[in-house]
Amino acid sequence: MNEVVSFGYTLLAMLRDVLPIAAILFGFQHLVLRRPIQRPARVAVGMVFVLLGLALFLQGLEMTLFPIGRLMAEQLTAPGFIFDEATALTQPHHWLEYFWVYVFAAAIGFSTAIAEPALLAVAIKANQVSGGTITVRGLRYAVAVGVALGVSLGAFRIVTGTPLHWYIISAYVVVIIQTSMAPKLIIPLAYDSGGVSTSTVTVPLVAALGLGLAETIPGRSPILDGFGMIAFACLFPIMAVMAYAQLVEWKAQRTARNRKD
Amino acid sequence: MHPADNPLVSHPQKPGLYQVLKAIVRRAIQPLSESAVALLPIVLVIGFFQLVVLQQPIPNFGRMLWGLFLVLMGLALFMRGLQMALFPIGEEMAYNFVKKGNLWWLLVFAFTLGFGTTVAEPALIAVSEEAARVAAAGQIIDSSPEARSSYAIGLRLTVALAVGVALLIGVFRILKGWPVQYLIIAGYFGVVVMTFFAPPEIVGIAYDSGGVTTSTVTVPLVAALGIGLANTIRGRDPLIDGFGLIAFASLTPMIFVMAYGMII
């Protein structure tokens, strides 16, 4: 019974999320464009599917993976797990002692990005538009590798307490250099994949990890150091997707050259 | 033999229950298997860390399975809904706006879509409340609930404005056919310059706000809108010109939030 009630709440929250969008679409379609929507029944059913689907998805995650994942983030960053005794917390520790935190950060970053519905949507669209050259799986794996690297580096930053903006600025420099070298066709998609990699699945778990780390490590404040994980998870997929495209292009060129010889 | 009994003649007007069920199952299998593949890594990661690293049992196994079933069904439904509603509607509206020929309305639509979908976004509401707490702790604002709530609302409006402006610029770029990288790199410079002037407490929140703005319902719609525009306008390539809208929407909030931090 409890579950039905909480599902009702999730559904209501989704409805509140979707209603403004539906109102804007409907308003412009009728007042400005003055054209009926093609196949309105199909669109309406599709909207219900989106609404119901996301509500079920979030409800299921709230029941299973979110609580255990958040708890895990707390346990892995708890002093008792990282050091043998809690008293060790008074002095700073070598960053390598947080080994499992980095592994967990990378693993959770990768796996949540793969499950991200928004990323799936963009990958399906990219696959359609590119005529199948960009595969749904290929793009998502590239993005997920990027998120994994980003979240792991974000954890390292919190552990070492180095300023966030130097990481972000260096990442920008790398992105700009890669942009000048990557195949032109991939650039807009690569930029977009940064924005879609952090959404409903990634944000709750990654943010919990960041805040947990900032609370545990001596000298870090959750307020100043807990943020920034999402920014990393946003930037690294851009690099990963461009690198993936560069790799594919380089391989194709090499085979072409080999064939000529 | 009566024609209705002939198995070689198809009767599209009277599909039996069996055929209907078969068609539904066939259509459901692809999204279901796709969502199973999408969910497998996260299940493996959580399972591995729980059992091997932390060495704890999985709590409430039956409930866990039921929850995973819901997640699986939800993702599959969402994928069907994308193809039935969000993608076609985005592309159709792009087509209609171009056919109408009034591009001002298109820009108004882009801004409204960005602003309207962001201002009520739950992730943004959570982040802005968190930011108000940070600002109060850093003594930027008064720590009274009123001051905090007005700060949080101001921040939400700022981010929504930023996303509206992002879609406006992004759509304008598609119309003009400008390469996306020049605008994005200019945006990066904006972020870097602002970082050195903004109060340090706001920088982390500003950087994160870029990532939380684009919701799961908005992203497919905006992607379809961009691709629809690029497909409809002559001389635009859907891959080069159609993508890029989401990139703007995750860049401008950083600049706008830091500006907000400087003004307050």
pLDDT per residue as tens digits for the range A180-218: 999 999 999 999 998 888 888 888 888 888 888 888 777
Where residue A64 falls among pLDDT bands split at 50, 70, 90?
A: confident
Instruction: Mark whether A214 and A88 lie in a shared domain.
Output: yes
Output the DSSP codes for A165-223. Answer: HHHHHHHHHHHHHHHHHS-GGGHHHHHHHHHHSSSTTHHHHHHHHHHHHHHHSTT--HH
Instruction: Mark whether A44 and A92 lie in a shared domain.
Output: no
Answer whether B188 sits within 8 Å of A60, measured CB to CB. no
Answer whether B227 sits within 8 Å of A115, measured CB to CB. no
pLDDT of residue A91: 53
Q: Between chain A and chain B, how many beta carbons pairs sit less than 8 Å apart?
A: 324
- Show residues of chain A in contact with B223, CB under 8 Å: 121-122, 125, 192
Distances (CA, A) of A120 to A117, B33, B118, B217: 5, 13, 20, 12
pLDDT of residue A221: 75
Query: Which ipTM value was assigned to this complex?
Result: 0.86
Distances (CA, A) of B116 to B119, B198, B202: 6, 27, 24
- Show residues of chain A in contact with B41, CB under 8 Å: 110-111, 114-115, 144
Beta carbons of B207 and A207 less than 8 angstroms apart: no
Percent of chain A with pLDDT over 70: 91
Instruction: Mark whether A115 and A37 lie in a shared domain.
Output: no
Given a cut of 80, whether residue B256 has pLDDT beyond it is yes
Answer whether B75 sits within 8 Å of A57, measured CB to CB. yes
Of A19-28, A139-148, B7-16, B39-48, least confident by mean pLDDT is B7-16
Beta carbons of B251 and B210 less than 8 angstroms apart: yes
Per the structure block, which two tokens stand in for B133? 């707490």
Of A71-85, A238-252, B49-63, least confident by mean pLDDT is A71-85
Beta carbons of B244 and A129 less than 8 angstroms apart: no
Question: Which residue type, as a one-letter code, is found at position A205?
Answer: L
Output the DSSP codes for B39-59. Answer: HHHHHHHHHHIIIIIS--PPS
Q: Is B33 on the interface with A (CB under 8 A)?
A: no
Cα of A96 to nearest chain B Cα, Å: 17
Task: Report how far residue A39's alpha carbon sits from residue B25's, in angstroms, rounded to the nearest whole number.
Answer: 23
* Residue extents of the structural domains in chain B: 1-85, 102-263
Dihedral of alpha carbons A161, A164, A168, A170, sign = negative
Query: What angle, 0 to 180 degrees and rounded to 10, lies between the N-to-C axes of helices A187-196 and B180-197?
Result: 50
pLDDT of residue B172: 95
Answer whether B74 sits within 8 Å of A224, measured CB to CB. no
Output the DSSP codes for A132-144. Answer: TSS-HHHHHHHHH
DSSP state of B214: S
Given a cut of 80, whether residue B82 has pLDDT beyond it is yes
Distances (CA, A) of B117 to A17, B149, B249: 8, 21, 12
Of A29, A39, A185, nearest to B240 by CB-CB distance is A185
Q: Which residue has the higher pLDDT, B6 or A148?
A: A148
Q: Which of A63, A89, A104 delimits the end of a domain?
A: A63
Q: Which residue has the higher pLDDT, A92 or A123?
A: A123
Instruction: Mark whether A118 and A131 lie in a shared domain.
Output: yes
pLDDT digits 0-9 by tens, A137-161: 999 999 999 999 999 999 999 888 8
Given a cut of 90, whether residue B185 has pLDDT beyond it is yes
Cα of B2 to nearest chain A Cα, Å: 36
Q: What total of structural domains would you count in chain A?
A: 2
Answer whether A33 sits within 8 Å of B241, measured CB to CB. no
- Show residues of chain A in contact with B137, CB under 8 Å: 223
Answer whether B243 sits within 8 Å of A184, measured CB to CB. no
Given a cut of 60, whether residue A258 has pLDDT beyond it is yes
Taking residues B90-109, report their average pLDDT. Answer: 90
Please give the residue range of the domain that contains residue A19: 1-63
Beta carbons of B73 and A49 less than 8 angstroms apart: no
Per the structure block, which two tokens stand in for B251? 């860049």
Instruction: Mark whether A227 and A211 lie in a shared domain.
Output: yes
pLDDT of residue A213: 82
Per the structure block, which two tokens stand in for B29? 């299998």
Instruction: Mark whether A141 and A250 lie in a shared domain.
Output: yes
Closest of B161, B135, B162 to residue B150, by C-alpha: B135
Beta carbons of B248 and B167 less than 8 angstroms apart: yes
Closest of B156, B171, B170, B78 to residue B117, by C-alpha: B156
What pTM was computed for the model?
0.87
Q: What is the CA angle B63-B67-B68, rounded to 5?
A: 120
Instruction: Mark whether A119 and A146 lie in a shared domain.
Output: yes
Taking residues A58-72, report their average pLDDT. Answer: 85
Instruction: Mark whether A75 and A42 lie in a shared domain.
Output: no
Closest of B203, B54, B45, B197 to residue A157, by C-alpha: B203
Where residue B84 falls among pLDDT bands split at 50, 70, 90?
A: very high
Instruction: Mark whether A191 and A212 lie in a shared domain.
Output: yes
Instruction: Mark whether A53 and A169 lie in a shared domain.
Output: no
Taking residues A219-234, report their average pLDDT. Answer: 79
Answer whether B81 sits within 8 Å of A50, measured CB to CB. yes
Cα of A180 to nearest chain B Cα, Å: 9
- Show residues of chain B in contact with A16, CB under 8 Å: 120
Of B43, B50, B207, nearest to A164 by CB-CB distance is B207
Of B53, B119, B208, nearest to A227 by CB-CB distance is B208
Backbone angles phi, psi at B186, to 5 degrees: -60, -40
Given a cut of 80, whether residue B217 has pLDDT beyond it is yes
Instruction: Mark whether A101 and A201 lie in a shared domain.
Output: yes
Answer whether A195 sits within 8 Å of B66, measured CB to CB. no
pLDDT of residue B1: 47
Search chain B and give the residue with CA nearest A114: B38
pLDDT digits 0-9 by tens, B35-72: 888 899 999 998 888 888 888 887 788 888 899 999 99
Search chain B and give the residue with CA nearest A230: B208
Instruction: Mark whether A58 and A82 lie in a shared domain.
Output: no
Answer whether A47 sits within 8 Å of B201, measured CB to CB. no
